[in-house]
């Protein structure tokens, strides 16, 4: 069993300590486990530039590697090798630090299990070039993940999108979320070692993230706050509202019905909605199907309006000239 700890914090600071304690917990329970720790802070993980080279390569029968060459490739390789991943990131302005999102944009989309399988099916039936069996099967192996959000603020409201945003890392790859922890209050705790309970939670998270690999997915009990009755899939406490009693979990993209009893709020997410959460194959496939249709919708529109678009795009390409006229 290979367990990877990824910390986006400062070297030897809070995120490192919490990640390493989780790894110690895993190692204690599974002495044979292969442990790897990476601190990303000084690594160069540039942003995705949206060039589309990865998708095009996949459609041409190749692997969908990222064409930007930096430290990302090393991190990607370690994630691919791992069976379980512990991710800890500091909250910078309510969300995980930006470098984390750079990793998500370059890693998670390209490992979308539905999108890759969609292409492999096309290879199988001869609609796209490439040998489907040559595609690295380790991409689809079962993985578990746990998220630790680290914040200085004593109030949870200053870490409001910490753990929720961390969930974006693993859902396209269908990693099973085992645990989730909002380690806020670092500003007053001083050092995680001054909070024994916190360290205990980290070790438990490490142990459970590893142990889950030996269990059937449905037997894994989620370890973490349950979001006060909000989404039963990701257990985060965010809701998108639209002025009706229908609300949506912004992480899982599923609809629920809200009801209020006195000052208690209840949200009912049907089984059917839960079955189409973003981190399920069905949920990912909805999006694959949607984006595959874009070309057929936009291609004819663009062709029919070519003269207009050429004229308007000139204003964009030569903006400095137009704006100073």
Ligand X SMILES: Cc1cc2nc3c(=O)[nH]c(=O)nc-3n(C[C@H](O)[C@H](O)[C@H](O)COP(=O)(O)O)c2cc1C
- Site for ligand X, rule CB under 6 A: 9-10, 13-15, 90-94, 150-153, 158-159, 184, 186
Calculated CA dihedral for residues 71, 74, 80, 81, nearest 10 degrees: -150
Q: Give the residue closest to ligand X by C-beta.
A: 9
Q: Which is nearer to ligand X, 9 or 224 (CB)?
A: 9
- Residues 96 and 165: beta-carbon distance below 8 Å: yes
Q: What's the min distance (Å) between Cβ of 184 and ligand X?
A: 6
Is the Cβ of residue 92 or residue 222 nearer to ligand X in the bound state? 92
Closest CA to 140 of 166, 183, 111, 101: 111
* Cβ proximity to ligand X, 13 vs 120, nearer residue: 13
* Minimum distance, C-beta of residue 150 to ligand X, in the bound complex (Å): 5
Provide the H-helix boundaries in the chain. 14-29, 53-59, 72-81, 98-103, 113-124, 162-166, 186-189, 196-211, 271-274, 281-292, 294-304, 306-317, 319-323
Beta bridge partners of 250: none
Nearer to ligand X, 91 or 104 (CB): 91
Burial track 77-87 (b if 16+ CB lie within 10 A, e otherwise): ebbbebbbbbb
Confirm if 233 and 249 have CB atoms less than 8 A apart.
yes
Q: Which residues contact 183 (CB under 8 A, 6 or more apart)?
A: 14, 18, 88, 148, 149, 150, 151, 192, 198
Q: How far is the CB of 70 from ligand X (least distance, A)?
A: 21
In the complex, minimum distance from the CB of residue 158 to ligand X, in angstroms, rounded to a whole number: 4
Q: Which is nearer to ligand X, 99 or 144 (CB)?
A: 99
State the minimum distance, in angstroms, from the CB of residue 187 to ligand X: 7
Nearer to ligand X, 202 or 277 (CB): 202
Copy the structure tokens of residue 290.
């949607």
For the stretch 140-176, what's the b/e string if a residue is b when 16 or more beta carbons lie within 10 angstroms of its beta carbon? eeebbbbbbbbbbbeeeeebbbbbbbbbbbbbbbbbb
Least distance to ligand X, CB of residue 152, Å = 3
Q: Which is nearer to ligand X, 19 or 288 (CB)?
A: 19
CB 160 → ligand X: shortest distance, Å? 9
Closer of 190 and 299 to ligand X (Cβ): 190
Give the Cα separation of 53 and 317 in Å (integer): 23
Min dist. Cβ of residue 221 to ligand X (A): 28
């Amino acid at each position: 069993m290979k367990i990877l700890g990824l910390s986006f914090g400062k070297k030897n600071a809070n995120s490192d300590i919490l990640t390493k304690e989780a790894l110690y917990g895993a190692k204690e329970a599974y002495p044979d486990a292969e442990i790897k720790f990476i601190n990303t802070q000084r690594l160069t993980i540039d942003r995705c530039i949206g060039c589309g080279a990865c998708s095009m390569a996949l459609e041409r029968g190749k692997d969908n590697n990222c064409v930007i060459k930096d430290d990302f490739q090393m991190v990607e390789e370690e994630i691919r090798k791992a069976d379980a991943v512990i991710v800890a990131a500091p909250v910078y302005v309510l969300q995980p630090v930006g470098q984390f999102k750079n990793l998500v944009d370059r890693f998670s989309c390209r490992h979308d299990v539905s999108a890759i399988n969609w292409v492999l099916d096309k290879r199988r039936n001869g609609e796209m070039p490439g040998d489907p069996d040559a595609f690295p099967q380790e991409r689809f192996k079962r993985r578990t993940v746990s998220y630790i959000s680290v914040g200085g603020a004593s109030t949870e409201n200053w870490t409001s999108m910490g753990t929720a945003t961390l969930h974006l890392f693993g859902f396209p790859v269908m990693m099973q979320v085992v645990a989730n922890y909002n380690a806020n209050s670092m500003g007053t705790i001083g050092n995680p070692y001054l909070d024994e309970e916190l360290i205990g939670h980290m070790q438990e998270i490490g142990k459970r993230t590893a142990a889950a690999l030996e269990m059937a997915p449905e037997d894994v009990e989620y370890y973490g706050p349950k979001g006060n009755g909000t989404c039963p899939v990701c257990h985060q406490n965010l809701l998108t509202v639209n002025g009706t009693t229908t609300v949506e979990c912004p992480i899982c993209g599923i609809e629920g019905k809200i009801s209020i009893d006195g000052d208690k709020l209840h949200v009912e997410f049907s089984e059917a909605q839960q079955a189409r959460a973003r981190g399920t194959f069905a949920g990912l496939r909805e999006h694959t199907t949607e984006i595959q249709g874009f070309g057929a919708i936009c291609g004819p529109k663009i062709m029919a309006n070519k003269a207009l678009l050429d004229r308007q795009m000139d204003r964009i390409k030569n903006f400095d000239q137009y704006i100073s006229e």
